[in-house]
């Protein structure tokens, strides 16, 4: 068992290889009431109610799977259930699920009574390495992905590696896109490890090490710049284009799949603007492709440009991206013209 400390608005730990049963038992005993947010599948498969003591002090609230749960109507339902349960400031929420559930649960905790404690038990690779750590919580809206949200760190994150056993190859690979991102921006060793693992099955064998390394980078960056005034933006490598593609697909694409294409886009843009070497650009394609992740798209460019303009990373009318100078050396690409984006897009068209 290993843990990593995050210093945000308060200090908390990410515990790796911690069994969820004990966590639920301890959390339910240390608050007079706990509000569990999870999906029907997880509640049924893992018999969550069995580990809440006493069960009378717990409420299990079921949400649907996937990105569509990050919706104001679902949040409204959570607020109503919290009111019905009489959840007070000293009570806590536990989000058990993928990244959408931890983003939504964290935001429900941030907004209820102006902020109650919450704990994350991520069940997908993407949630373990990215969504559950960092304290950004939120929902989607017509305006864009994650535009409504709050910085509200969990009191603890508990990674139970057993959840990965039932994760599909598609979902595991989607999580690997975030791991690969971390490799390019900050930890080349991740890329070395993955190069010798050319199938999803073989990457699963080193999941714990990949998770530890990815969370370590994230924790370090978030601890230095919790509110994303500058440094933390490097974690958005591949995300401006990725978010646009994900939203265009009406969230049919997994976040990690859209980010995979976004990483290739950001690498190509870096090649054009700051001379990122072709061999590094090619390494993006080969690593992502090796796990069956998409590296190109045929979505029309116009709508993607509009969606990129509404992304959080743009400032005013200027489009800005995180690029790469070389391995482990991210660079801020400012004031990128639409013409250059179009030319870059042509290089990633299917």
d(CA 74, CA 275): 45
Of 149 and 294, which has the nearer Cβ to ligand GLY?
149
Rg of the chain taking only CA atoms, in angstroms:
20
Which DSSP symbol is given to 128? I
Window contacting ligand GLY (CB under 6 A); options: 24-32, 86-94, 132-140, 268-276: 132-140
The answer to whether 131 contacts ligand GLY (rule: CB under 6 A) is yes
Site string for ligand GLY, 323-342 (x = CB under 6 A): --------------------
d(CA 284, CA 16): 28
Among 98, 105, 134, 175, binds ligand GLY (CB under 6 A): 134
Q: By three-state DSSP, how is residue 95 classified?
A: strand
C-alpha distances in Å from residue 64, one per residue of 69, 70, 123, 130: 6, 10, 15, 20
d(CA 133, CA 6): 8
Of 70 and 136, which has the nearer Cβ to ligand GLY?
136
Provide the 10 A C-beta neighbour count for residue 43. Answer: 17
State the minimum distance, in angstroms, from the CB of residue 103 to ligand GLY. Answer: 6
d(CA 232, CA 185): 11
Among 98, 105, 122, 135, binds ligand GLY (CB under 6 A): 135
State the minimum distance, in angstroms, from the CB of residue 227 to ligand GLY. Answer: 11
Q: Of the candidates 189, 100, 89, 222, which has an alpha carbon nearest to the alpha carbon of residue 149?
A: 100
How far, in whole angstroms, is CA 3 from its chain's centroid?
Answer: 19
Among 70, 136, 152, 247, binds ligand GLY (CB under 6 A): 136
State the minimum distance, in angstroms, from the CB of residue 250 to ligand GLY. Answer: 21
State the minimum distance, in angstroms, from the CB of residue 205 to ligand GLY. Answer: 26
Size of interface with ligand GLY, in residues (CB under 6 A): 5
Among 18, 67, 91, 103, binds ligand GLY (CB under 6 A): 103
For binding to ligand GLY (CB under 6 A), which residues are involved? 103, 131, 134-136
């Amino acid at each position: 068992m290993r843990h990593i400390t995050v210093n945000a608005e308060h200090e908390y730990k990410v515990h790796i290889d911690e069994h969820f049963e004990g966590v639920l038992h301890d959390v339910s005993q240390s608050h007079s009431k706990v509000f569990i947010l999870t999906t029907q599948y997880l509640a049924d498969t893992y018999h969550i109610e069995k580990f809440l003591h006493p069960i009378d002090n717990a409420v299990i609230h079921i949400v649907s799977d996937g990105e569509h749960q990050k919706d104001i109507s679902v949040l409204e339902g959570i607020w109503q259930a919290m009111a019905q349960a009489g959840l007070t400031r000293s009570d806590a929420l536990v989000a058990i699920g993928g990244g959408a559930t931890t983003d939504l649960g964290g935001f429900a905790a941030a907004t209820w009574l102006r902020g109650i404690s919450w704990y994350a038990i991520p069940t997908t690779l993407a949630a373990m390495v990215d969504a559950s750590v960092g304290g950004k919580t939120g929902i989607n809206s017509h305006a864009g992905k994650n535009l409504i949200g709050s910085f509200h760190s969990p009191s603890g994150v508990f990674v139970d590696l057993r959840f990965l056993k039932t994760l599909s190859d598609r979902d595991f690979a989607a999580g690997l896109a975030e791991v690969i991102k971390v490799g390019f921006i900050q930890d080349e060793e991740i890329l070395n490890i993955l190069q010798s693992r050319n199938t999803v099955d073989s990457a699963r064998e080193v999941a714990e090490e990949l998770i530890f390394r990815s969370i370590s980078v994230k924790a370090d960056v978030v601890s230095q710049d919790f509110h994303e005034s500058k440094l933390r933006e490097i974690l958005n490598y591949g995300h401006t284009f990725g978010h646009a593609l994900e939203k265009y697909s009406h969230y049919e694409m997994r976040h990690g799949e859209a980010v995979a294409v976004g990483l290739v886009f950001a690498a190509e843009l870096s090649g054009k603007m700051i001379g990122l070497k072709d061999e590094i650009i090619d390494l993006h394609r080969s690593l992502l492709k090796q796990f069956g992740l998409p590296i190109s798209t045929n979505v029309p460019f116009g709508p993607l440009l509009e969606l990129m303009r509404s992304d959080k990373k743009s400032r005013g009318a200027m489009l800005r991206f995180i690029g790469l100078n070389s391995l482990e050396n991210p660079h801020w690409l400012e004031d990128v013209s639409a013409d250059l984006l179009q030319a870059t897009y042509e290089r990633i068209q299917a």
